[in-house]
Structure 1
Amino acid sequence: MTTSPDASPAAVWTILTSWPRGYFTARYEGRRYGVSNTAHANGQSFKLFAEQLGGADRISLNIYRPPSSAEPALKPCEMPIDKVTAFVVGAVLE
Structure 2
Amino acid sequence: MSAWDALPLGNFDGVYEGQRYGVTRTERADGRQAWLWAEALGGTDRISGNLYRLKSGAQLKPCEMSDEKVMSFVVKVKPISASKS
TM-score, normalised with respect to structure 1: 0.80
Counterparts of 1:1-94 in structure 2 under 5 Å? Answer: 13-66=1-54, 68=55, 70-94=56-80
Find the aligned partners of 1:18 and 1:44 in 2 and give their Cα distance: 16
> Runs (4+) of structure 1 moved beyond 4 Å?
none
Letter in 2 for 1:49: W
Q: Please say which structure displays the higher CA radius of gyration.
A: 1
Find the aligned partners of 1:77 and 1:41 in 2 and give their Cα distance: 22
* Other structure's SS at 1:72 match: strand
Gaps of 5+ in 2: 81-85
Q: Which has the higher contact order (CA 8 A, sep 6+)?
A: 2
| Structure with greater proportional strand content | 2
CA-to-partner distance for each residue in 1:21-69, whole Å, 9 max, x for gaps?
1100110000000000000142121100000001000000000101x2x
1:71 Cα deviation (Å)?
2.5
* Other structure's SS at 2:43 match: coil
Q: How many residue pairs align between the two structures?
A: 80
Moved more, 36-45 or 82-91: 36-45
Gaps of 5+ in 1: 1-12
